[in-house]
Amino acid sequence: MTSASGQHRVFLYDTTLRDGSQGANVNFSASDKVKIVEKLDKLGIHYIEPGFAGSNKVDDQVFRQLSTMDLGARICAFGMTRRPSSQVEEDPSIKALLKAGTPAVTIVGKAWDRHVANVLRTTPEENLAMIADSTRYLKSQGREVIFDAEHFFDGYKQNPKYALDVLKAAQKERVDWIVLCDTNGGVLPSEVERIVDGVRGEITAPLGIHCHDDSGVSQANSLVAVVHGASQVHGTINGLGERCGNCNLTTLIPNLKLKMGFTDVVTDDQLKRLKEISTFIYEVANMKEEVGHPYVGANAFTHKGGMHSDAILKDVESYEHVDPGLVGNERRISISDLAGRAAIFEKAREIGIDLGKEDERGKAMLANIKALQGDGFAYESADASLELLMKGTAHDPANPGQLKHKFFTLERFRVITEVNGDGQPRSEATIKVRVNDRDFLTAAEGNGPVNALDNALRKSLEHFYPEIKGMVLNDYKVRITDQAGTGSKVRVLIETKDAGKTWTTVGAHENILWASWIALADSICFKLLKEVERKGFGLK
């Protein structure tokens, strides 16, 4: 099988929903799995493994639902070879694979004689028979069969003859694919190169590669295997998986397409979905995004240093190895005390502020940002607070906190925490704010002082601004910015979300409540500002 470029064709095999779900704290419902399969199908994945046949009710439900759907990908049920000393037709794992009703099945078998003896507790000969019987029977039932040679690289290094005998047992029964697994994630690219070449000298069946990331080189190992003839690559979105995870398809796919010339591995339009599906799976799994992931991470194309951000505005290739739009990501200029004037002008353009070449407001923005960052604020992590600061400065350079639209003014607040007879602390906040020249005094309780303050502020504002009812405080972080014991200055970062957007605000002060107030107030002001702008009242 060759591609249009003359290279052998590469097929993508996604195991996010089986191997990936074995990662710590990763759980998918049946509904989650079906939605993810649909996303993977649109990404152009050729084989999708939704789960382990017969192992649980969720996966069985998923296989039933997928059997009614029209998908471009081949759905593949995962299972084991028959058990030692059992009849293949009666084996529960084999029956479950057939019951799943998928056009393709993957069976895992031991390729390391150490596992055969110590884990399966059977003979080398019986292990070979288990692989041959299972392959032959599943082929007779009309299935495409993928043989997953577990611990192959470890097995090959210890006993290459037996490891190859395992592959030959499957090949003899006309297996469709033989996948070489680095199950422990312990081999290096040079070893993969040597061993894959050795296998190709003995095996004619199409080869695949399945790498774990315990040594941090699963992507490199997979690419080396492809260069040396593997034509099916296994991995997971975002590298999810047991221990250190699996080969990360969100890195592997663009490397194959953009760097190595496998241009038809996915289409250009499919590649643009990469960032979207990465974010979607993080959200479904209720996991925090890894912002530093290549290609799809939020920081993958973020430029912070003044020299870098200035250069990228003059020549995008000076600090970017690919166009972020190719993978559905975007370029960001991060503003900090390292920022230069060019970065400020670019950020202003991004958020809708028109600055002339010699506009003094740009200088004021840079001066205000650097002064506040000297006081402990960090705007590269808080785009919402940065936008408020820059728009406030654009409106009144001498008073950067003053937006054109003034939503409310704090008159005062007080927070108390007390412990009742049950030994559980409770906090109560009283706050007085001014809205439209009217004062409002409100009190609310919370499970902590910041929660109580947040509740009281919302309670006082929701009558005037019902839009804030849809806001949710999604994350709250506190960082010490200097080393002065309990009197240290702290930085508070608050992540807020609504139905369509997530934003982060920052506050800094020696008093943690005041730092929290700054971030809370910015969070609400940003939400209200976006509503004003959405209705057509820009802040130019």
Most confident listed range (27-41, 320-334, 352-366, 437-451)? 27-41
Express each pLDDT in 185-208 by its tens digit. 999 999 999 999 999 999 999 999
The mean pLDDT of 52-66, rounded to a whole number, is 94
In the chain, the amino acid numbered 423 is G
* Percentage of the chain lying above the pLDDT 70 cut: 91
Question: CB–CB of 304/337 below 8 Å?
Answer: no
The pLDDT value given to residue 276: 94
pLDDT of 470-491, one tens digit each? 898 888 989 887 766 666 789 9
Q: How far, CA to CA in Å, does 448 sit from each of 28, 55, 75, 412?
A: 32, 43, 49, 19
Q: How far is CA 534 from the centre of its chain?
A: 29
Report the pLDDT averaged over residues 379-383: 81
* Helix (H) / strand (E) containing 65: helix 57-66
The three-state DSSP-derived secondary structure of 125-172 is: HHHHHHHHHHHHHHHHCCCEEEEEEECHHHHHHHCHHHHHHHHHHHHH
Pick from 125-134, 326-335, 387-396: least confident: 326-335
Q: What does the alpha-carbon distance between residue 131 and residue 414 come to, in Å, rounded to a whole number?
A: 72
Inform me whether the pLDDT recorded for 300 exceeds 70.
yes
528 touches 457 (CB < 8 A) = no
Average the pLDDT over 338-366 and give the result.
76
Degrees, nearest 5: CA angle 88-94-96: 145
Contact 354, 390 (CB under 8 A): no
Distances 51 to 14, 69, 104 between C-alpha atoms, Å: 11, 16, 13
CB half-sphere exposure, 257, CA atoms < 13 A: 24
Q: For residues 320-334, give the mean pLDDT.
A: 85
Question: Quick check: 106 pLDDT over 80?
Answer: yes
Give the whole-angstrom CA distance, residue 130 versus residue 412.
76
Q: How many alpha carbons lie under 13 Å from residue 178 in its C-beta half-sphere?
A: 30
Q: What is the mean pLDDT of the chain?
A: 90
User: 361-391 burial, b if ≥16 CB within 10 A, otherwise e?
Assistant: bbebbbebbeebbeebbbbbbbbbbbbbbbb
Write the CA distances from 366 to 101, 399, 522, integer angstroms: 62, 14, 19
pLDDT at 95: 97
Tell me the residue length of the chain.
540
pLDDT, residue 310, reads 57
Residue 380 has pLDDT above 60, yes or no: yes
Residue (of 368, 334, 373) closest to 491 by Cα position:
373
254-276 per-position pLDDT tens digit = 999 999 999 999 999 999 999 99
- Mean pLDDT throughout 413-424? 87
What Rg, from alpha-carbon coordinates, does the chain have? 29
Claim: this prediction has a pTM higher than 0.85 = no
Report the pLDDT value the prediction gives residue 505, as an integer from 0 to 100: 95
Low-confidence winner among 100-114, 261-275, 302-316, 480-494 (lowest mean pLDDT): 302-316
Q: Is the pLDDT of residue 356 over 80?
A: no
pLDDT band at 100 (very low <50, low <70, confident <90, very high): very high
Q: Which two tokens stand for residue 66?
A: 């997928």
**DSSP secondary structure, 251-301, as one string:** HHHHIIIIISS-TTSS-HHHHTTHHHHHHHHHHHTT----TT-TTTSTTTT
More confident position, 307 or 236: 236
Higher-confidence residue of 350 and 158: namely 158
Q: Which two tokens stand for residue 490?
A: 């702290």
- Alpha carbon 412 to its chain centroid, in Å, reads 41
Q: Are 434 and 407 in contact (CB under 8 A)?
A: no
DSSP string, 170-217: HHHTT-SEEEEEETT----HHHHHHHHHHHHTT--S-EEEEEB-TTS-
Cβ atoms of 168 and 202 closer than 8 Å: yes
What is the pLDDT at residue 343? 72
Assess whether pLDDT exceeds 90 at residue 442. Answer: yes
Q: H-helix or E-strand containing 348? A: helix 341-350
* Average of per-residue pLDDT across 312-331: 78
Least confident of 42-56, 70-84, 354-368, 522-536: 354-368
Q: What is the pLDDT of residue 538?
A: 43
Nearest-CA neighbor of 270 among 506, 537, 44, 69? 44
Instruction: Dump pLDDT digits (tens) for 33-50.
Output: 999 999 999 999 999 999
Q: What pLDDT, on a 0 to 100 scale, did the predictor assign at position 399? A: 75
Mean pLDDT in residue range 127-147: 98
Q: What is the pLDDT of residues 443-457, one digit of tens each?
A: 999 989 999 999 999
The arithmetic mean of pLDDT across residues 55-84, rounded, is 95
What contacts 323, CB < 8 A, 6 or more positions away? Answer: 316
The residue among 113, 191, 190 whose CA lies nearest residue 149 is 113
On whether the CB atoms of residues 465 and 528 are closer than 8 A, the answer is: yes
Q: Which domains does the chain show, CATH number per domain?
A: 11-284 (3.20.20.70), 409-534 (3.30.160.270)
Q: What is the pLDDT of residues 504-538, one digit of tens each?
A: 999 999 999 999 999 999 999 999 998 888 876 54
The predicted pLDDT at position 539 comes to 39
Q: Is it the case that residue 7 has pLDDT exceeding 80? A: no
